[in-house]
Every structure is written in structure tokens, then in C-alpha cells.
Structure 1
Amino acid sequence: MNDYILLFVIILGVNLLPAFGPPTWSIILLFSLNTDLPVVALVLIGALAAASGRLALAYAFRFFGGYLPAKYRQNLEAARQALEARQRNMILALGLFALSPLPSAQLFAAAGFAGIRLLGFTLAFFAGRLVSYSIYAYSAKGIRETSMNDLFTSMFSSPMGIALQVAMIGFVVLLVRIDWSKLLNKVGVKDASEKSANGSSKP
């Protein structure tokens, strides 16, 4: 039982970090190699803890977003409206994104900042993680324990890994600072004019 609790707490804590935390799949691999926990338990606990941590992270950013200057809050509101207009596509994209080992902390931070409805967002993430963690956990038995040191070292020293984290942080900053209402205004006017034209052409 202690291993189950330890796994949940570690993954939950890692997924509360907004950046530069070790990827959850690496923790799944580590527990798979060094404990007797069944793969099904590793996957379910890992996905549940990761989704819970990311959801809490998103709500934390939503709370702090209320203290941003009015201009930035208006930008985020415009971004939220644009994203929720195509929410089905966004959730599908998140589900596919969750299958990859790419960092998701900044994506949830952005969702929290923008005030996007988080239930479907988190469920898509959870479903994607069930698949990806299953792949990692079942393949872990073929990985030598000596390779784990190299794996963890590369996570924090790889220029590509660091650049990706910085780029994702930049994405969150841009989400707040871009005037989305101005950027999307032309598209909105075009859509409105097309609807008007279509409506006037009907008998």
C-alpha cells in the first residue's frame, strides 16, 4: 500500500509544477523497474494523479489570473471565446497531445489563465495518458536499469528539452499579452458578413 501512495503523491507533486518537472512517464518507468506494482495499477494511479495535479495547476493559474491587469484579462477573455468556439477540436487535439511525452504543464496553465472549462479538457488528458502510460509501463521491462540514469540526466541537461520548456513558457506569456480581440477581429467581421450575405440570399 505504501508504494501505491508514494506513486500517487510523487506524480501529483510533479504535475503541480508549472515547468521543469520530470515527465510522469519517467516515474512510471522507474516504479515499473524497481517495484512489484502491477502495470494496471501503475497506469491508473499515474493517469489519475497526473490529471489531478494538472487540474489543480490550472485552477491555481485561474485564481492568479484574476489579479492580472484589466488589459490582460480582456486578452484572455477573447482567447477563451475563440478557443471554446472550437472546443471539440481543442479537446481532440489535447487527447492526441497527451499521447506524446511533450510537457503539458504550460498547456494547463494557459487553459486556467484563459478560463476555459476544464472538465472535458482534463478528461481528454486522462484518456490520453492512460494510453501513453500503458505503452511506457509495458515496455519498461525491456529497459536496463543502468539506462535510467542517462534518461534522467538527459531530461535536465538536453538543450532540446530545456528549449522546449522555455518555448512553452513563452506560449503562456504570449497568450496573456496578445490582443486576441484585435487579432481575431478580421476573421470575426468576415464570418459575420458571410452569414449576413447568406441570410439575405434566402427567399
Structure 2
Amino acid sequence: MTTAAWHYLTVLLVVFLINLLPAFAPPTWVVLVLFKLNWHLNPAALVVLGATASAGGRFCLASATGRLRGRLSPKRRESLETLKDYLTGHRGRSVLGLALFMVSPLPSAQLFEAAGLLAAPLLPVTAVFFAGRLISYSLYIGAATVAEHSLGPTLVSTLTSPAGIIVQVLLVLAVVLLAAVDWTKLIKRGGAAPPHRPESDRSGTRA
């Protein structure tokens, strides 16, 4: 295997692994830019590999988080099911949710953890995320190619930013609250009755 092939394989593995982390991982675009600056890899290949590995890692993270639903009480599971029905039962809310995965500036780990807890359909969510990352990584790597010699301080400040760390902590707390809030009661209080689910679904939720 050639040196270039090993470099691309390393990119694929590293990006996949950091996207498995539930919090406090470096931004993927920073990692890709560092690979670009140090190994002078093909920008197009780097974008495609980065988006693929990132989407794969986030899909696995959401799937693993979804397994935690079984450890929740029946009441908590039914509450999360009510929230999922509320978010997916209206076209506008569904489109907004998908747009959040595509263009949100927030760290995506917690978005996928929330999707996993809600048992949201992960394939369309991941596909939209992949498309968004193709665009954003193209912009970042394109900028890195143009301004190669002035990016060092910018990347260091991105990795060590106190504001970025605070945002990560707040988003982790938000995921915890997602499972703690009684969404059934909250949605009913807000005047939106949760969509009717067949009795078989309800009994399955309580199992």
C-alpha cells in the first residue's frame, strides 16, 4: 500500500473515531484542515472521505445512544415517544429538524444523541447531515488551501476556546434534560395533543 493510501486510510479512521465521541471531540473540519496542511492531500478526496466517516461515526453514536432507551423507565420512554410523535407529526417541524442537522452551527454529537434517544429515523437524518458536511468541509478545506500559512493560530484557538467548551457542556446537559422532562405533560399543557398511536404501539413502549 502506498504512503498516500495509508494517509487517506488514517483520515477515514481518525474522523470516524472522533465522531463516535459523545462530547468534547475536536471539530471534524479542524482535523481535516490539519491533514490537508500536513500531508497535502487531494482536497476533493479529503472532503468526501471526511463527510463519509463523519456521517458513519454519528450514525453509530446515535444508534448506541438509542440503546439507552431500554434502561429508562416506561414513563420516560413514553415521554420520549410523545416528543418524537410531536416533532415528526407535522411536516414543517420535520423539515426544520432535518435542516438543523444540515446547517446547524452547533456541535452535531448532541443532535445525534437526541435523535437516538427519540428513536428518530436515522438514515434520512444521516443522509442530510452527510450532504451538509460535503458543503461545509468543501468551504473549510478550500479556505485552507488559499490561506495555508495563516491558519495555525486560528486552529489552535478553535480547539482551546472556552466558549466552545461551555457550549459542549450545555448541550450535554440538554441531552440529559431531554430524557428527564415529562414531554407528555408539557406538550398537552402547550395545547398540542400528541398524535394518537395504536394501542399495540403503546403496549410495546411500556414493555
TM-score scaled by structure 1? 0.85
CA apart distance, 1:70: 2.0
Aligned to 2:199: none
Aligned equivalents of 2:81, 2:103: Cα separation in 1: 25
CA apart distance, 1:138: 0.8
Q: Helix, strand or coil: the match of 1:21?
A: coil
Q: Helix, strand or coil: the match of 2:41?
A: coil
Aligned to 2:185: 182
Aligned to 2:48: 44
- Which residue of the other structure, out of 95, 103, 106, is the alignment partner of 1:96? 103
- Which residue of the other structure, out of 111, 117, 137, is the alignment partner of 1:133? 137
- Aligned-residue identity in percent: 40
Aligned equivalents of 1:176, 1:139: Cα separation in 2: 39
Deviations 1:36-90 (A, max 9, x none): 3211100000000000000000000001221122222122111111121232221
Aligned equivalents of 1:191, 1:56: Cα separation in 2: 29
Alignment pair present for 1:165 and 2:168: yes
Aligned equivalents of 2:147, 2:101: Cα separation in 1: 28
Residues 42-81 of structure 1 mapped to structure 2, 5 A cutoff? 42-81=46-85
CA apart distance, 1:189: 4.5
CA contact (8 A) 1:79 1:175 kept: no
Letter in structure 1 aligned against 2:171: M
Structure 1: gaps (5+ residues): 193-203
Aligned equivalents of 2:135, 2:129: Cα separation in 1: 10
CA apart distance, 1:174: 1.4
Q: Following superposition, which runs of at least 4 residues in structure 1 exceed 3 angstroms of deviation?
A: 142-147, 189-192
CA contact (8 A) 1:91 1:121 kept: yes
Letter in structure 2 aligned against 1:7: V
- Which residue of the other structure, out of 21, 29, 35, is the alignment partner of 1:17? 21
Aligned to 2:122: 118
Aligned equivalents of 1:107, 1:147: Cα separation in 2: 28
Letter in structure 2 aligned against 1:17: L
Letter in structure 2 aligned against 1:184: I
Letter in structure 2 aligned against 1:89: L
CA contact (8 A) 2:29 2:137 kept: yes
TM-score scaled by structure 2? 0.84
Aligned equivalents of 1:190, 1:165: Cα separation in 2: 30
Q: Which moved more, 1:45-54 or 1:68-77?
A: 68-77
RMSD between aligned residues: 2.1
CA apart distance, 1:134: 0.1
Aligned equivalents of 2:36, 2:156: Cα separation in 1: 15
CA contact (8 A) 1:16 1:56 kept: yes
Deviations 1:91-147 (A, max 9, x none): 1232121xx3x3100110010011001111111100000000000111112345574
Aligned equivalents of 1:83, 1:145: Cα separation in 2: 45
Q: Helix, strand or coil: the match of 1:188?
A: coil
